[in-house]
Structure 1
Amino acid sequence: MYKCALILAAGQGKRIKSDLPKVLHKVCGKEMVNHVIDTLRKGNVEDINVIVGKGAELVKENTKARNVSYSLQEEQLGTGHAVKCAIDFLKNKKGTVAVFNGDAPLIKEETIEELFKAHKESGNSATILTSILDDASGYGRIIRNENEVLKIVEHKDCNEEELKVREINSGMYCFEIESLVECLDNLSNDNSQGEYYITDVIGMMKEKNEKVGALVINYEETLGVNSRVQLAEVEAILRKRINNKHLENGVTIIDPNTTYIGIDVEIGQDTIIYPGNVLEGNTVIGKNCLLYPNSRINNSIIGEDVEIQSSVILESEVGNNTTVGPFAYIRPQSVIGKNVRIGDFVEIKKSTIGNNTKVSHLTYVGDAEVGEGCNFGCGTVTVNYDGKNKNKTIIGNNSFIGCNTNLISPVTVEDNTYIAAGSTITNDVKSGELAVARAKQRNIEGWVDKKGLIKKK
């Protein structure tokens, strides 16, 4: 069975009060529309068309990596009008199309799979995702005869009996494409709002004696976002769902309420996460790691048995049995080896650090290749920028860099070398050499007294 999907993403969202299109606001670190796209893909729907309108170029820019197509809704004239704008995408297709909302990021992949399955097995022309509420006030009611839906009635149009119905329309659907296209051709905006409603398609199908069904799902999955308050509510629900998944997979989260994990993050068994950690993007964390409080890790790969304390790691790799922090900053495109020590107030930028190397404190390593078994003294700086170009420092295996050393790149320090503390190295250092690059000390007797600088009690 051919399957495709439409995502309604054309609205600006006035109530959210933002220059950013509503569907681009993030939930657990990912844009809402991208949550929907990614969930559809996990639910085995490959052909996806995003209907854009307000802020179309921004929406396209933020979704282009996901290989979707686009339809333009220049005026926002209702949900039916949005689907009509995708008519070129639907024409000449046979199969089933789902319609989802770009501001409803909590839908689950299992629900998508079940929707298509129920739609096919029941032989429906349309299948509606619905929910049961204790208080259905304000929602369109699903009026059904056992398994078959008879109609959708908006709250304001309900009679006394219909108001008692607790099953409501979620605004998400599955349609047989050919039947939907035929109905769209005849869809009218002859109503008080002057808009085209997708719910009218259901009525048109029933007039043709086509079968319409419904699949009842948890109301939480259908929640849409129209305000910052609702954005925070959806964020809390998804964050709890994500944290619970990791807890069930053998990860210890000391305080889930203060731990922020993105939906695409992977974490190995027996890792322990303390409060205040923020794990984002496509981060992968291995087994048996210790993440002490207040670190941020973004789009990075962390090995096994790694300890991280109050540090920032961005778009980098950290090998097994390495410790990072406290207060370390590992910037993008850095690769930290195994059994490495990156200590307090150390910054690594676009550098490779070999296995068993120690960079223990107050050091900057930028644009460098550092070998294995090296030791950096406190206050070392690779001086990688000459005011115009970034230059490279290469340090071989088993080198000892004394405290307060400046390595003026481009420069190479070969294997098994020593750099004396306080040196400024401007020339290459050959293997086995000791480099001393500092002025000879000179003590001037009586200088303080001559200058009148002696402080008297």
Structure 2
Amino acid sequence: MMNRYAVILAAGQGTRMKSTLYKVLHPVLGRPMVQHVINQIKTVDLDQLVTIVGFGADQVMEDIGSESQFVVQEKQLGTGHAVQQAEGLLKDKDGTTIVVCGDTPLITGETYQALFDHHEKTGAKATVLTTTAPDPTGYGRVIRNDDGEVERIVEHKDATDEELQVNEINTGTYCFDNQALFHALKKVSNDNAQGEYYLPDVIEILRNNKEKVSAFLTPNHSETLGVNDRVALAQAEKIMKKRINENHMRNGVTIIDPDNTYIGPDVIIEQDVMIHPGSIITGSSTIKTNAIIGPHTEITNCTVGEETVVKQSVAKDSQIGNRVQIGPYAHIRPEAQVGNEVKVGNFVEVKKSTIGDKSKVSHLSYIGDANVGSNVNVGCGTITVNYDGKNKFLTTIEDEAFIGCNSNLIAPVTVGKGSYVAAGSTITKDVPGDSLSVARARQTNKEGYATKLKNRKQD
């Protein structure tokens, strides 16, 4: 196999996005567009990857990191000029160079592989990835000769009326013989409506030199969508969502309403999981077999165990065990560790806490900075009071303790194994094991006093 190189064009500002965020960093299902491109193009076993950056170069390089080498295009003078910036890294190398745009997040690794294989099999100096578009407005047209070979590519603004009738379009993705590419780039002119150096002009230059130019027509037009504005961004999101959801369903996941279910590209979902409408699962989340998610649940960077139910709740950056019941309307905040067979009920918030197996926090409670043992019952309205305005402190509730309703546990404090805290207590000192702690004002009844108060109001 020939050496393979890739150049990703990511220098444009994307003015039509009308955003302070650079175009290629706009996310599709939570991942920047350019990262989708990188992840797919790397599946073809590249020898070298170069990304051309310009506007927002520092931010783009920071987001991509060590996955690519970078070259800065100081002035945006067109796609041909952009590729030329990689000359210092690639010009002396033999092999095939693919050029892709950083705003085409939907092209799959399979398509890139097929393009490489077609290019190398035909022995062409250049191969254009093309597709047929129902509405080709704005796209460069692929003009073929009588033998069906690619003769040239004409940008929409420079096309004649006859050329505008062509619906085979240039997707902006190409394979080139690397040496031929950089030799032809030196001959590209900016004599056009935009005054820019167009990469497609390389096609005509190679043709004039009697070199073979091929085209690989992909039947999947939607895959080649280029994102230039927010409308196209929403279209890309919809296509990507459909692709991901269908893949999970084919692998044994039940998604009741795929149109209203959002699953990120890095999410792992095992067989026989059921996902209800309105659910959003993103980041590096893993959902284990027979779990039930939703409806209207948001899960980010979490592991959700087998047979666990999470409904109408939010969970982030946490570990949730097997056969757990969460919700409705619970909030599992970062660094929570929820054990097996735990119940976290309605309007319960858990933050940076561990809850042991078979414990219950059924409703209207806040568990923050706490270690809760196994078989613990936390009554309604319980609060671990963890913050003094400056520092956070730990609450420890040991195994088999029972916390009565409307209790305040003022950290740092420990409730010992098997102990009871009476309802309405404010606990400020450690509770020994197997003890009952009562920390509330003594009740006083003043008989007949209510009548006296009523008479006073009437006077």
TM-score category of the 2 structures, normalised to the smaller one: over 0.9
Choose which of 363, 378, 381 in structure 2 pairs with 1:379. 381
Contact 1:448 1:454 in 2 (8 A): no
- Aligned partner of 2:211 in structure 1 is 210
- CA distance in 2 between counterparts of 1:144 and 1:134 reads 22
- CA distance in 2 between counterparts of 1:42 and 1:436 reads 64
Secondary structure of 2:348's counterpart equals: strand
Deviation at 1:157, TM superposition (A): 5.9
- CA distance in 1 between counterparts of 2:312 and 2:275 reads 12
Determine if the alignment matches structure 1 residue 36 to structure 2 residue 30: no
Deviation at 1:119, TM superposition (A): 2.0
Secondary structure of 1:240's counterpart equals: helix
Deviation at 1:162, TM superposition (A): 5.7
1:83-103 per-residue CA deviation (whole Å, 9 max, x = no partner) reads 122223324443322111111
Secondary structure of 1:269's counterpart equals: coil
Contact 1:44 1:113 in 2 (8 A): no
Determine if the alignment matches structure 1 residue 129 to structure 2 residue 108: no
Query: CA 1:128 to 1:417, structure 2 compared with 1: closer, same or farther past 3 Å?
Result: same
Query: CA 1:164 to 1:441, structure 2 compared with 1: closer, same or farther past 3 Å?
Result: closer
1:210-246 per-residue CA deviation (whole Å, 9 max, x = no partner) reads 3322211122111111222222222222211122112
151-160 or 327-336, which deviates more: 151-160
Instruction: Give the aligned residue type for 1:169.
Output: N
Gaps of at least 5 residues in structure 2 are none
Deviation at 1:164, TM superposition (A): 6.0
Q: How does 1:37-436 map to 2 (within 5 A)?
A: 37-45=38-46, 47-64=48-65, 67-133=67-133, 136=136, 139-144=140-145, 148-154=149-155, 165-217=166-218, 218-436=220-438
Deviation at 1:181, TM superposition (A): 2.2
Secondary structure of 1:189's counterpart equals: coil
Which stretches of structure 1, 4 residues or more, deviate above 6 A after TM superposition?
Answer: 453-456
370-379 or 34-43, which deviates more: 34-43
Secondary structure of 2:111's counterpart equals: helix
Secondary structure of 1:390's counterpart equals: coil
Deviation at 1:3, TM superposition (A): 2.4
1:337-359 per-residue CA deviation (whole Å, 9 max, x = no partner) reads 11110100000001111111111
Deviation at 1:148, TM superposition (A): 4.6
Contact 2:141 2:166 in 1 (8 A): no
- CA distance in 1 between counterparts of 2:223 and 2:455 reads 76
TM-score (norm 2): 0.92
- CA distance in 2 between counterparts of 1:384 and 1:160 reads 72
Contact 1:394 1:413 in 2 (8 A): yes
Secondary structure of 2:191's counterpart equals: coil
TM-score (norm 1): 0.92
- CA distance in 1 between counterparts of 2:73 and 2:360 reads 57
Instruction: Give the aligned residue type for 2:172.
Output: G
Contact 1:143 1:162 in 2 (8 A): no
Q: CA RMSD in A?
A: 2.4
- Aligned partner of 1:8 in structure 2 is 9
- CA distance in 2 between counterparts of 1:4 and 1:351 reads 48
- CA distance in 2 between counterparts of 1:159 and 1:362 reads 69
Contact 2:401 2:420 in 1 (8 A): yes
332-341 or 2-11, which deviates more: 2-11
Contact 1:321 1:339 in 2 (8 A): yes
Instruction: Give the aligned residue type for 2:332.
Output: I
- CA distance in 2 between counterparts of 1:408 and 1:228 reads 49
Query: CA 1:245 to 1:319, structure 2 compared with 1: closer, same or farther past 3 Å?
Result: same
Deviation at 1:275, TM superposition (A): 1.1
156-165 or 324-333, which deviates more: 156-165
- CA distance in 2 between counterparts of 1:351 and 1:160 reads 67
286-295 or 320-329, which deviates more: 286-295
Paired residue total: 456
- CA distance in 1 between counterparts of 2:311 and 2:85 reads 51
159-168 or 210-219, which deviates more: 159-168
- CA distance in 1 between counterparts of 2:155 and 2:254 reads 46
Deviation at 1:25, TM superposition (A): 1.7
1:20-58 per-residue CA deviation (whole Å, 9 max, x = no partner) reads 212222222222112111222344347432222222233
Query: CA 1:418 to 1:238, structure 2 compared with 1: closer, same or farther past 3 Å?
Result: same
Query: CA 1:381 to 1:46, structure 2 compared with 1: closer, same or farther past 3 Å?
Result: farther
Deviation at 1:262, TM superposition (A): 1.6
Instruction: Give the aligned residue type for 1:391.
Output: F
Query: CA 1:46 to 1:304, structure 2 compared with 1: closer, same or farther past 3 Å?
Result: farther
Secondary structure of 2:365's counterpart equals: strand
1:281-309 per-residue CA deviation (whole Å, 9 max, x = no partner) reads 22211111212311111111111111111
Query: CA 1:298 to 1:146, structure 2 compared with 1: closer, same or farther past 3 Å?
Result: farther
Gaps of at least 5 residues in structure 1 are none
Deviation at 1:404, TM superposition (A): 1.2
Contact 2:158 2:192 in 1 (8 A): no
1:432-453 per-residue CA deviation (whole Å, 9 max, x = no partner) reads 2222222322333444455557
